[in-house]
A and B are shown apart, each in its own frame.
Chain A
Amino acid sequence: MDKEKLEAYHRENIQIIIILLAIWFAVSYVGAILAQPLSKVTVFGFPLHYWVSAQLSVITFVILIFVYAFLMNRLDQKYGVEE
């Protein structure tokens, strides 16, 4: 296979990882750092900081993994590196 194409595939993979990990970082760590100010707000009956750490983060993690699998499986086909 052509070397440039293989490297482009790897670069796109890294880009996807960086974007998804930025979201991962935001819902968990940034959410926790902002816990004090967020606690003043209520959503669905929950204090917002509690909701972010107990639910938003966990649900986002599940979605991120499926999105990664979807994007990578598509990328594999685009570059013809699927099994």
Chain B
Amino acid sequence: MNVLDILGGTLITVGVFFIVMAAIGLVRLADVYSRLSAVTKAATLGVVLVLGGAFCLEPSWKSFFVVGLAAFLQFFTAPVGGFALGRAAYRAGSPLAPQTQYDELDDAIRATSREP
């Protein structure tokens, strides 16, 4: 066991923790938008931490590039996917949670009476 092994194991454990949180959040949270939040973000952080941990266990230039590319793609595709799904859900009229306090998008749509 050297320092890198310990660091790698820790990163993977923390990453898996966030992925599990995302999975539980997907079931427990109140509406589509909060669930999307949980899945796209917590899962992104989790995957990137697991990738970092994998790099610590197998440090080489090759894995540096592979892990770097995978993390880069994850960071750039996850928010775009979340944005597209959130927008589609809103346009399809998916209901907001009853606790929701503001909907300034709805106010804006009513003001112009056009589609966003």
- Do A and B interact with each other, yes or no? no
* Residue positions of A touching B, CB distance < 8 A: none
* Residue positions of B touching A, CB distance < 8 A: none
